[in-house]
Amino acid sequence: MLWRFGYFLAWQLVGGALGWWLEGPWGAAVGAAVAAWLWFGGDLWRGVRVLRWLRSGDLSATPSSFGMWGEAAERARRLLRQRQALVKDSEERLQEILAALQATPNGVVLLDAEGRIEWCNQIAAVQLGFDAQRDVMQSIGNLVRDPDFGAYYAAQDFTHDVVLQGRDSTPSRPVRISVHLHPYGEGRKLLLTRDVTALEQADAMRRDFVANVSHEIRTPLTVLTGFVETLQTLPLDAEERARYLTMMAQQAARMQSVVHDLLTLSRLEGSPLPGMSEWTPVQVLMQRCEDEGRALSAVLTQNHHRHHVLQFPAAQDLRAEGEIAGVPSELQSALSNLISNAVRYTPAGGTITVQWRHTDDGSAIFTVSDTGPGIAPEHIPRITERFYRVDRSRSRETGGTGLGLAIVKHAVQRHGATLEITSVLGKGSVFSVTFPANRLRRPALPDGLQPTASAQTALQ
Ligand code: ADP
């Protein structure tokens, strides 16, 4: 400020001196006044330039000036630069936050105080069926027409979510979307969406499973209790008592099988994936399968005049098939279950053929074919579900639990193998398990070499 005053005085002094030199004292007064006006004009012009520059907002063309106006322009330029950097920084942060919200696996919608969409990510747009760009500033109530959502929004109780039918939902492929509103700011709302189809399905499966288990255990238990009451209350002769006790033993055995299979399933689900360190000779597995299959067939056909025809691969052929990596008890359980099913469902006189063959790509296929009743195509996709049975009475009669194929599927999947089922109703079924090449090794075994004792004991 002092400079400015000094500068103004210097102009007047120079003007006054020039006037004095030209016209004496009057000339000095006129010279000082003219100099003051010139100074004022120049100052005004510099001020107007700075003001015009500020109005334009174009920081690149800062007017070069000195004195107070120069400093004012420089300070304004610095402030504007700082503000611009702040805005750019905020913009970048906003874009990062929006990108993070885009990347979340759940849907996110920002609603203003009037319930209009300010922003939404792609997942929410897909799940709720609107367009992330076109529907901005549209009212959410107009876009989500589900009456359940309307009631939820109107009730303004956002402590819980509401589950709606997804836009792509069809009767065969239902899609369920959970929608939860969270109020924030001044009347604004954050709407979160989540696909809960798998969760709801798992929940329904769990409920079905518990109901099935209770049913499977309760039925024999009710029968057992009935027999116990009969034995307690009625005076029975020795023959009748023996008959009742046999039936009681059958029911107890049935319960035992269900519990055994449930435990096997839960062990399969709970244990770590089979490693590659434990190798079992294919011949050992197949020998055990053969023993079990023949024993079961003998029991089931003991009162028939015809028996099953059981065909298994020859032991010397199996020796050349080498070894398989995995948990021996799980592999055994899977293969035996398939043979047991073939034996149980094939009437006496039918043929059951078991094969093990390797393919050119190094994998191996275990196949059980039977000439039993076969399975209708509509049942095939479901027979590996827990407790799913096509023929309930045949399953029970032969000691089935409805869990056998669920165990097989689980066990083979854990070993990287696949289960394939083909069947012709009235003609028979073929169950094949394909083991991947990495779980098999076929050393050039010299003839007559027997499997190691350790492998034999692993199966005990
Ligand atoms: P289960 O203990 O009832 O045999 P599984 O899970 O082993 O239960 O099999 C499921 C259903 O698949 C059986 O109830 C049966 O109806 C059908 N099934 C399985 N294997 C055969 C087969 N070899 N021939 C005909 N039906 C079969």
Domain containing 128 — which CATH number? 3.30.450.20
Ligand 1 atom with the smallest distance to the CA of 428 is 24
The number of residues making up the chain comes to 460
- Measured in whole angstroms, how far is the alpha carbon of residue 24 from the centre of its chain? 101
Which protein residue has the closest C-alpha to ligand 1 atom 20?
A: 341
Instruction: Please name which of 197, 190, 28 lies closest in space to residue 120, comparing C-alpha atoms.
Output: 190
pLDDT at 70: 83
Single residue among 94, 117, 132 that ends a domain in this structure? 94
Q: In terms of domains, do 290 and 438 share one? A: yes
Q: Determine whether the shortest distance from the Cβ of 395 to ligand 1 is under 6 A.
A: yes
364, β-bridge pairs: 358, 435
Tell whether 144 is covered by a domain: yes
Q: In terms of domains, do 163 and 207 share one? A: no
Single residue among 172, 195, 218 that ends a domain in this structure? 195
Tell whether 228 is covered by a domain: yes
pLDDT at 76: 86
Q: Quick check: 342 and 374 in contact, CB under 8 A? A: no
139 in helix, strand or coil? strand
What sign has the CA pseudo-torsion 316, 318, 321, 325? negative
Which protein residue has the closest C-alpha to ligand 1 atom 14?
A: 389
Q: At what angle do helices 2-56 and 67-103 cross, to 10 degrees?
A: 40
Tell whether 36 is covered by a domain: yes
What sign has the CA pseudo-torsion 60, 63, 64, 70? negative
Q: In terms of domains, do 132 and 278 share one? A: no
From 379, 388, 395, the mutation candidate for ligand 1 (largest count of ligand atoms within 8 A of CB) is 395
DSSP code at position 305: S
pLDDT at 446: 57
pLDDT at 8: 87
Q: What is the pTM of this model?
A: 0.67
Q: In terms of domains, do 302 and 255 share one? A: no
Which protein residue has the closest C-alpha to ligand 1 atom 11?
A: 389
Q: Determine whether the shortest distance from the Cβ of 373 to ligand 1 is under 6 A.
A: yes
From 215, 379, 383, the mutation candidate for ligand 1 (largest count of ligand atoms within 8 A of CB) is 383
Q: Determine whether the shortest distance from the Cβ of 342 to ligand 1 is under 6 A.
A: yes
CATH of the domain at 222: 1.10.287.130
Q: In terms of domains, do 115 and 185 share one? A: yes
Which protein residue has the closest C-alpha to ligand 1 atom 2?
A: 400
* Total number of domains in the chain: 4
Instruction: Please name which of 226, 270, 280 lies closest in space to residue 251, comparing C-alpha atoms.
Output: 226
Tell whether 38 is covered by a domain: yes
Tell whether 29 is covered by a domain: yes
Instruction: Please name which of 84, 52, 66, 63 lies closest in space to residue 4, comparing C-alpha atoms.
Output: 66
Instruction: Please name which of 169, 170, 194, 171 lies closest in space to residue 181, comparing C-alpha atoms.
Output: 194
Q: At what angle do helices 238-270 and 404-414 cross, to 10 degrees?
A: 30
Q: In terms of domains, do 261 and 143 share one? A: no
- Measured in whole angstroms, how far is the alpha carbon of residue 291 from the centre of its chain? 42
Single residue among 161, 195, 229 that ends a domain in this structure? 195
Instruction: Please name which of 247, 206, 257, 210 lies closest in space to residue 226, comparing C-alpha atoms.
Output: 247
Instruction: Please name which of 307, 279, 330 lies closest in space to residue 442, comparing C-alpha atoms.
Output: 279
pLDDT at 452: 46
Q: Determine whether the shortest distance from the Cβ of 278 to ligand 1 is under 6 A.
A: no
Ligand 1 atom with the smallest distance to the CA of 402 is 8
DSSP code at position 445: P
Show the CA angle centred on residue 371, arms to residues 367 and 374, nearest 5°: 90
Q: In terms of domains, do 66 and 136 share one? A: no
pLDDT at 68: 82
362 in helix, strand or coil? coil
- Measured in whole angstroms, how far is the alpha carbon of residue 317 from the centre of its chain? 44
Residue 247 belongs to what domain range? 201-270
Helix (H) and strand (E) counts for the chain? 13, 13
Strand duo 162-165 + 176-184: pairing: antiparallel
Instruction: Please name which of 277, 343, 285 lies closest in space to residue 318, comparing C-alpha atoms.
Output: 285
pLDDT per residue over 20-77, tens digit each?
999 888 999 999 999 999 989 988 998 898 888 888 877 777 777 777 888 888 888 8
Q: In terms of domains, do 286 and 417 share one? A: yes
Residue with tokens 């929006």: 98
pLDDT per residue over 113-170, tens digit each?
999 999 999 999 999 988 888 999 999 999 998 999 999 999 989 999 999 988 878 8
Q: Quick check: 101 and 108 in contact, CB under 8 A? A: yes
Tell whether 306 is covered by a domain: yes
CATH of the domain at 320: 3.30.565.10
Spatial distance between the Cα atoms of 405 and 427, rounded to a whole number of angstroms: 20
pLDDT at 457: 41
Ligand 1 atom with the smallest distance to the CA of 431 is 23
Q: In terms of domains, do 287 and 427 share one? A: yes
Q: In terms of domains, do 251 and 218 share one? A: yes
pLDDT less than 70: residues of the chain: 1, 444-460
Tell whether 160 is covered by a domain: yes
Q: In terms of domains, do 286 and 260 share one? A: no
Tell whether 99 is covered by a domain: no
Which protein residue has the closest C-alpha to ligand 1 atom 8?
A: 402
Q: In terms of domains, do 119 and 40 share one? A: no
